Amino acid sequence: MAEIEAFAALLHETIAQNKLSGSRVKAVTESATNALADPPSLAKAMVRAHLRSAPKTKLVSLYIFDAVARHAQEIVRRNGAGLAPPGRSGEQLAAEAQAFLRALQEPAAEVGIDCLRNAPREQREKVLKVIDIWDRAGTFAPKILQRIHDYTDEPEGSKSPKVDPPLGPPGLPANVLAMLGGAAAVPGAASGGASPAAPAAASPAAAPAAPATAAPAAAPARPGPPPGGGRRAAAPPPGGWPPGGGSAQSRQPPPGGWPPGGGSAQARQPPPGGWPPGGGSAQARREPPVKEDLRAFDQKHFDPTSPAQWERLARMWTNTYHYEPTGPELMMALMSGMLSKEVDARWTGMPTMPGMGMMPGMGMMPGMAMPGMSAAAPGGVASPLHGARSPPTSDPRRGRS
């Protein structure tokens, strides 16, 4: 029909432009009104144009589809008054528009789902707004709109097109399929040649027969030697199998069952003296870390320019004397030779520090003798470190005792 062809050409052209204007939409709806005399063909032309459109033009195609459908709905509502073209009555036009809306129900679901599936993701909200307009205006039946919403609610992984399973034999029992396969092979054998259809008929019958076999389920109920020969098929000797002997399959559980936790009783007996405290073996337990004290300090290899070595020396001092030293204390300990077995020339040649008294438990620094004091601090005790003196029992940080 000429009106249908003119409408289809205008529709394809408008969709390809991928932009709409009021005049363009009016031209499309007027062309559709002129073609309402053939409602099924008009509906097919609309859905065909939409499905052939590119993904980027799906939204424009949906807008045109919506404009034409709601224009037809308006014709029905007004009974064609003021909308009929010359030479046609309003009642006739309303009847044609009603038939067109009925023919457009299924295409509406197809167009809506196609937009959700193929239109750009950023246009998804606009597509759903058009569907909501159809719902509020009653343009299409609720079941049609529900199909579109069902697709929207599906997870992303389940929206791939459904593929029908290949046709095959119905779910017959395995023995029936085997009989059918044997019957199909008889004519080929009688004719003296292999029939080309015989392998094809036998292969479907053989495939489902494998899962249907019940031999493994019945195997435990049959008496007989276990797998692996008959060497240990007899009952266990008095006292049980020797440790490590026999196979796991042929051994019977002892009276009372296996011990809790699985395995054999021999494998779970505690060693003489019991398990070590804390569970597990003594080798597997972690020993607490050994604290490093001043016995591990080597002044000869001490680098005074390294902050890390100063921190290590402070930790050794704390682990030995149980208090944190100050920087001057560590400096004077190094200069006095308290921490070294040998004289360190790097420290003995340093100038004296006026105004600084002797450290508790340390010998006097060279060049810093004070009247009335001996080389060892009063109250000091012999230190285990290189023959030096250890601090007194009182806390040096709170004054001398």
| 331: nearest Cα among 355, 354, 314 | 314
Report pLDDT for 26: 93
Q: What is the pLDDT of residues 345-358, one digit of tens each?
A: 665 555 544 444 44
With the CA atoms of 268, 270, 272 and 277 taken in that order, what torsion angle do they form, in degrees rounded to the nearest 10?
A: 150
Hey, is 381 helix, strand or coil?
strand
Report pLDDT for 129: 94
pTM of the model: 0.41
Report pLDDT for 384: 39
Can you tell me the distance from the alpha carbon of 253 to that of 287, in angstroms, rounded to the nearest whole number? 39
CA distances from 309 to 297, 302, 394 (A): 10, 7, 27
Token pair 């073209």 in the structure block, residue: 85
CB crowding 41-78: b at 16 or more within 10 Å, else e: bbbbbbbebbeebeeebbbbbbbbbbbbbbbbbebbee
Regions in the chain scoring below 50 on pLDDT: 157-169, 183-234, 244-250, 261-267, 279-284, 352-401
Q: What is the pLDDT of residues 300-333, one digit of tens each?
A: 888 888 999 889 989 988 998 888 889 888 888 8
Q: Which residues contact 44 (CB under 8 A, 6 or more apart)?
A: 107
